[in-house]
C-alpha cells in the first residue's frame, strides 16, 4: 500500500502528465492500485520502432519517490526481453542512484532514450533493424490479441478472456489481450478497428488480403510478409532474419551459373591458344 506521501506525489504527477504529455509517451496508474502504472511508447520517426505501440508497466515502491520503480516492457520490441525487469539507473536495480526529484515523465523519457540507443544491460537484447521493424509492425496486433491467443475472430464480438498473469509485472502474451484491454480500452478498440480494416488474422497476425490488393497499410504489408506460423514475435524475427540473409547473398551467389559458363568458355579458349602455339 502506498504511503500518504507517495499517493499524493503520484496523483500530482498523473495530473501533470495528463496536462503536458511528452511526445511519444502516454501513461496512467491502474484504477485498483496507484503504485502500478501502465505506459505506451510510440516508436519515434527515424528509428526502427517507428509506428510501434510499446506497452509496459512501472511498479512503484510504497515509499516513492525515495526509491525507484521496477520497469518492464511487455510488447516484443527486439530491444527488451518481454516483461523482464530492466536494469537502468532510473529503475529499482539502482535505488541508491535514484533522485527523488525525478518524476514519472523523467523515468519514461529515460526508457525511451535507452530504447533508441544500442547500450546493453540486464533485460535488453540485440536485434537487427530489419527484425525490429518487423516487430514494430506487429505491436498493435500483439497487444490486443495477447500474441495471437485471443479467441476473437474478424467480424466477431469481443469475448471475455481468461488471464494467466499473477501479480505486478506478470503480464505475458497468452491472455488473449485481456490485460491490455483492461488498461487501454480505447487503444484496444482502435487496434481492433485496424485489425478488421486491414484483414489481419487475429490468431496468426498475417494479412489475409491477397498480395495484389493495395488496401493494406505499410504495417499490414509487413505482417503479410512475415514467416508462417502463429507466434508473432518468432515469425517477425524469422522473416527479418531471412530478409537479412537474402540481402547478404551478393552478386556472385545470384549469378553463379553465368560465372560457371564463362569459366568453361575461358578454359576452352585458352586450350585452343596453347594448341596453336605448340603447332
- Please identify every residue annotated as catalytic: 87
- For the residues of 11-25, what is the DSSP string, one character each? HHHHHHHHHSPPTTE
Which three cell numbers, joined as nine digits, stand for 166? Answer: 499473477
CB atoms within 10 A of CB 176: 24
**Alpha-carbon gap, residue 232 to 147, rounded angstroms:** 6
47: left (phi over 0), alpha (psi -120 to 50) or beta: beta
**Alpha-carbon gap, residue 75 to 82, rounded angstroms:** 6
What value does the CA radius of gyration of the chain take, rounded to a whole number of Å? Answer: 25
Distance from the first to the final alpha carbon of the chain:
102
Which three cell numbers, joined as nine digits, stand for 145? Answer: 490479441
Amino acid at each position: 500500500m502506498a504511503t500518504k506521501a507517495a499517493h499524493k506525489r503520484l496523483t500530482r504527477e498523473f495530473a501533470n502528465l495528463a496536462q503536458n504529455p511528452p511526445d511519444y509517451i502516454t501513461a496512467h496508474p491502474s484504477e485498483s492500485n496507484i503504485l502500478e502504472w501502465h505506459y505506451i511508447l510510440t516508436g519515434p520517426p527515424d528509428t526502427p520502432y517507428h509506428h510501434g505501440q510499446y506497452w509496459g508497466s512501472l511498479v512503484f515502491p510504497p515509499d516513492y519517490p525515495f526509491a525507484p520503480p521496477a520497469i518492464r516492457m511487455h510488447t516484443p520490441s527486439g530491444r527488451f526481453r518481454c516483461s523482464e525487469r530492466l536494469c537502468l539507473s532510473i529503475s529499482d536495480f539502482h535505488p541508491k542512484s535514484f533522485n527523488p526529484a525525478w518524476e514519472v515523465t523523467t523515468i519514461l523519457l529515460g526508457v525511451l532514450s535507452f530504447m533508441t540507443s544500442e547500450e546493453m544491460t540486464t533485460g535488453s537484447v540485440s536485434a537487427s533493424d530489419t527484425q525490429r521493424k518487423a516487430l514494430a509492425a506487429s505491436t498493435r496486433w500483439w497487444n490486443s490479441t495477447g500474441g495471437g491467443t485471443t479467441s476473437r475472430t474478424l467480424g466477431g464480438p469481443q469475448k471475455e478472456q481468461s488471464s494467466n498473469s499473477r501479480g505486478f509485472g506478470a503480464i505475458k502474451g497468452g491472455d488473449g489481450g485481456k490485460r491490455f484491454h483492461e488498461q487501454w480500452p480505447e487503444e484496444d478498440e482502435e487496434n481492433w478497428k485496424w485489425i478488421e480494416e486491414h484483414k489481419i488474422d487475429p490468431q496468426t497476425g498475417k494479412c489475409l488480403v491477397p498480395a495484389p490488393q493495395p488496401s493494406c497499410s505499410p504495417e499490414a504489408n509487413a505482417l503479410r510478409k512475415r514467416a508462417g506460423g502463429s507466434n508473432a514475435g518468432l515469425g517477425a524475427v524469422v522473416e527479418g532474419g531471412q530478409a537479412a540473409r537474402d540481402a547478404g547473398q551478393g552478386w556472385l551467389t545470384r549469378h553463379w551459373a553465368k560465372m560457371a559458363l564463362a569459366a568453361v568458355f575461358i578454359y576452352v579458349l585458352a586450350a585452343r591458344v596453347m594448341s596453336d602455339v605448340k603447332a
